[in-house]
Amino acid sequence: MSKSAKSICLEETRALASSEMREVVEPKACTVAEKIEEFVLKLGYSNAQALSVIVQLLTRGKVRVDFRDYSQRLQLVSQTDIMPRAEAVALFDAYLAEIENRDDSSAMEFTQKIMIQAPRRPAG
């Protein structure tokens, strides 16, 4: 595996959900490593859900994740970072092993609803 979670750059776009309208926040740059840490903390170390988001992102190039108060659209900055599923799982597992010994339990947040959507396929 030649790529690491810290070396793969993403663009994150958040849309805040309010009862009346969705407010889009300016896109920001981040890494796959930052997203793995965020999802593992939000999901209470439930690796299956975090893994499915990261694998979708690394194999398709983009993913949208809906939380109760906002949604995130994540997209690889470089399409050359797209990889086969086995490599994406190995990258996730390798980074998870790096952060496994941290004690971030006080920073955990719990989410009531998470929806993972595959990107729409172009017609044709």
Which H/E stretch holds residue 51?
helix 47-60
Above pLDDT 70, what percent of the chain?
76
Own/partner pairs, 20-23, CB within 8 angstroms, 24+ separation: none
Instruction: Check residue 107 and give its pLDDT.
Output: 47
Instruction: Check residue 41 and give its pLDDT.
Output: 81
Q: Which domain holds residue 35?
A: 9-117
Q: Based on the number of CB atoms within 10 Å of its own CB, is 29 exposed (0-12), middle (13-18) or buried (19 or more)?
A: exposed
Is residue 122 assigned to a domain? no
Is residue 111 assigned to a domain? yes
Number of domains observed in the structure of the chain: 1
Instruction: Check residue 106 and give its pLDDT.
Output: 44
Is residue 35 assigned to a domain? yes
Is residue 79 assigned to a domain? yes
Q: With 0.85 as the threshold, say if the pTM is over it.
A: no
Is residue 109 assigned to a domain? yes
Is residue 107 assigned to a domain? yes
Is residue 1 assigned to a domain? no
d(CA 59, CA 83): 5
pLDDT tens digits for range 57-101: 999 999 998 888 888 899 999 999 999 999 999 999 999 888 876
Is residue 22 assigned to a domain? yes
Instruction: Check residue 87 and give its pLDDT.
Output: 96
